[in-house]
Structure 1
């Protein structure tokens, strides 16, 4: 039996801060030095230490292996905690769509009653951008074989758990553009990919998750 859970979406960023200090009254140095960080599976590291049977980069099998390693590492961190690992209700599989801004997309389940949506995974933000009551959004996705997939469009009026974020909320980052503290919080995002942007007002809703253990059963 699959157990579902719901949560308000919040994420936290991790910043690595390197501090260099001197334990004396005066510190002097000659010249400058620098160094770079490389992931253990980056091209630079793999050129010196070959990967242990890793599939070809950018292949679907490669990303499955990377996701499996991440789950193992995450599982070890939570081994002494009561928090279960969770995933999207339809799984954590992602796909890169060249026809939609060369971004990676995932299928998420949002709202009450729940409905699925194809969303772009934005690593530079802690928000999901859903197509919401829009007139110029992509409504159909064509597959290479000629078939097509109808995409759902989110409507805040169709979800009982949907609520617009006011300007006085801590989630609102553009309060300087608000007419009053109780106005709807506006946003405007433009990406490097040509033709990819998002504008409107912020809306908060429920994201449906499922236990990773139950998902694998």
Structure 2
């Protein structure tokens, strides 16, 4: 009798392994030789020493140019670069090398392994947040149309391989983009830094923080665009709104 060999356990193990690669958090602490990018509305100052008072070497623009991590911050060192109410953007000073070979220290709170959204290359007919998140995780499946609700003209969603979900809602006179992110993949600071820049670009913003709700609200200076970030179970809930 011919003995049948089952490949199901092996296949299952392979799929589990591949899934762990896809959805494993990538914003773990930086390591030497990592390639990182600036996520800020303006440039960061590359300094000779690991301090906000260090002599300026040059300005590093938020243009998607790669930086190589040379050394990590001193253990226990911490610098607060920004506060929104009681919410603080903190980090250390990491030594980096620029593409043209200059070395110095940058505040790492505005650095990420993810590339920033290249807004200048977009034609305005695509969704900002869906476009950006596809650089973080691939789409899983096809676009799904959702039933209209609460005055929407059109609703649809995309799911991503890491478990994130994107929804776009169109209204008369505006649109809303919703993004739900796996909480284990990002800290709230990372969410703020990545998506504030992706959404507002170089536009000046102002923000508030509701500590009781753990809710960050970021508004454009012109008042036409808004980003709200808050926890929702095991996810981060992001709401991007704009008015015509």
Shorter-chain TM range is under 0.3
Which has the larger share of strand? 2
Q: TM-score, normalised by structure 1?
A: 0.27
Higher relative contact order (CA 8 A, sep 6+): 1
**Which of structures 1 and 2 has the bigger CA Rg?**
1
